[in-house]
């Protein structure tokens, strides 16, 4: 009985000491983004992150995490709730580019809990003086992190972190119960499978590990995923919602007022110039990172690739077919209309040569090929891949038009039309 009381008291004391310890700061440092994919300076991507790691490793109560740590916490955001109260998780995002002999670096400090930018900085230095860039970079990062460094209050008793510094946060032991129960469940499940395969429970699992004529066989065919898993329904509902928004309305557009210039060779016509900038909506990647527990994440220059597998998701047939048939791809159609909304000019930005061959007696029809889709999906039996390209596509459309006809233009409309509906849509306009 005395031993039991001692154990209980020790547990309470340990819990109180851990909860009284000052909060820590988790800093995630990943390779910097080479904005222009300049091969000659590609080595700086890892070099800059190593400079930051080297500097921050000298601080107490800053626990450094790499890209794997970021993927882990973004895949399972409940890990943030298991940390000591007051602990912050900050991500350092860096981008760099070279202009002549100068290197420009921009740094963002992101709060992973909300995915908000809480600080930013810029560094510029000479490519031939990496040591000077290192000094400026580490000074900038230190100043950005200074307000968030844990403040340790001195007391009559030493804290757990005094003495030899730790680079890995101390364990709470909060997962002990979960681990224990998981082990028990795993043992029960293993015994059940062993009994099934040996026939001890009266049946043999046809898809389990089994021995056939001296050969051990484990069936991992797609039939394992033929039926949806009920435990994945919540994740699947979120995925369908996010991907539907991503497929239906992913682009933002900056549309400048058309310029009407007299053609120097034909004063009866205007040279009309239309400037458009296409890009992905700014919140798309943030929503992908914060909403869905993805299985993997890859950053390759301007490309961000998300991976999802069937361990966490069911792939609804409707989404699968839409991806396989390419129904998420869209084409921008621009209409210059009169005061009544009647189209006078139709501009279509498509690679389809059949579209380029269309003619019209009703409107001025002009085909172009500048725009390309910035989103791509791939789906297979085991996984789904979503690729986003975070670049802007600046486009200038130029064409000639009769002056009298052009004077009737009073409105500009731009709409993204699914590729499969483009012919039908244009037939109603042309």
pLDDT digits (tens, 9 = 90+) for 249-260: 889 999 989 999
pLDDT score for 363: 92
Distance (Å, whole) CA 421 – CA 392: 25
**Is the distance from CB of 137 to CB of 56 less than 8 angstroms?**
no
Burial of 208 (0-12, 13-18, 19+ CB in 10 A): middle
**Is the distance from CB of 126 to CB of 41 less than 8 angstroms?**
no
Q: Which two tokens stand for residue 202?
A: 């009266």
Per cent of the chain over pLDDT 90 is 26
Given CA atoms 132, 137, 143, 148 in this order, what sign does their dihedral have?
Answer: negative
**Is the distance from CB of 414 to CB of 298 less than 8 angstroms?**
no
Averaged pLDDT for residues 377-392 = 85
Distance (Å, whole) CA 332 – CA 347: 8
pLDDT at 33 over 80: yes
Averaged pLDDT for residues 234-241 = 81
Per cent of the chain over pLDDT 70 is 78
pLDDT at 378 over 60: yes
Distance (Å, whole) CA 351 – CA 393: 15
pLDDT score for 176: 47
How many residues does this entry show for the chain?
430
pLDDT score for 19: 47
Distance (Å, whole) CA 59 – CA 67: 20
* All structural domains of the chain: 17-148 (3.40.50.10070), 176-219 (no CATH), 233-427 (no CATH)
Residue predicted with more confidence, 221 or 160: 221
pLDDT at 59 over 70: yes
**Is the distance from CB of 304 to CB of 298 less than 8 angstroms?**
yes
Q: Which two tokens stand for residue 31?
A: 């390779």
pLDDT score for 168: 47
pLDDT at 105 over 90: yes
pLDDT at 148 over 60: yes
């Amino acid at each position: 009985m005395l031993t039991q009381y001692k154990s209980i008291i020790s547990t309470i004391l340990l819990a109180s000491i851990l909860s009284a310890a000052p909060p820590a700061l988790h800093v995630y440092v990943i390779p910097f983004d080479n904005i222009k994919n300049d091969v000659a300076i590609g080595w700086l991507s890892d070099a800059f992150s190593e400079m930051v790691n080297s500097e921050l490793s000298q601080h107490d109560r800053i626990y450094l995490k790499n890209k794997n740590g970021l993927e882990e916490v973004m895949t399972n955001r409940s890990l943030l709730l298991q940390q000591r109260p007051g602990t912050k998780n900050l991500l350092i995002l860096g981008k760099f580019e070279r202009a002549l002999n100068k290197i420009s670096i921009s740094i963002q400090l992101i709060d992973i809990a909300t995915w908000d930018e809480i600080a930013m900085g810029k560094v510029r230095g000479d490519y031939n003086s990496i040591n000077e860039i290192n000094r400026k970079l580490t000074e900038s990062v230190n100043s950005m992190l200074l307000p968030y460094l844990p403040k340790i209050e001195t007391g009559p008793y030493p804290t757990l972190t005094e003495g030899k510094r730790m680079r890995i946060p101390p364990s709470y032991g909060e997962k002990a119960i979960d681990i224990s129960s998981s082990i028990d469940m795993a043992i029960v499940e293993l015994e059940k499978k062993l009994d099934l395969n040996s026939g001890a429970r009266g049946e043999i699992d046809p898809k389990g590990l089994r021995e056939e004529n001296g050969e051990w066989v484990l069936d991992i065919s797609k039939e394992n995923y033929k039926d949806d898993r009920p435990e994945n329904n919540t994740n699947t509902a979120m995925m369908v919602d996010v991907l539907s928004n991503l497929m239906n309305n992913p682009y933002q557009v900056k549309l400048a007022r058309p310029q009407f210039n007299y053609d120097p060779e034909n004063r009866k016509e205007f040279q009309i110039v239309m400037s458009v900038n296409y890009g992905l909506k700014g919140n798309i990647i943030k929503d992908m990172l914060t909403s869905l527990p993805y299985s993997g994440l890859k950053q390759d220059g301007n490309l961000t690739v998300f991976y999802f597998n069937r361990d966490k998701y069911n792939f609804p047939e409707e989404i699968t077919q839409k991806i396989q048939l390419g129904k998420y791809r869209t084409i921008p159609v621009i209409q210059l209309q009169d005061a009544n909304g009647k189209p006078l000019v139709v501009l279509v930005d498509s690679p389809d040569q059949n579209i380029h061959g269309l003619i019209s007696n009703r409107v001025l029809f002009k085909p172009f090929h500048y725009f390309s889709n910035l989103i791509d999906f791939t789906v297979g039996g085991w996984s789904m891949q979503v690729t986003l390209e975070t670049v802007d596509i600046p486009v200038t459309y130029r064409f000639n038009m009769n002056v009298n006809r052009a004077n009737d233009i009073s409105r500009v409309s731009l709409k993204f039309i699914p590729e499969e509906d483009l012919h039908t849509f244009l037939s109603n306009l042309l």
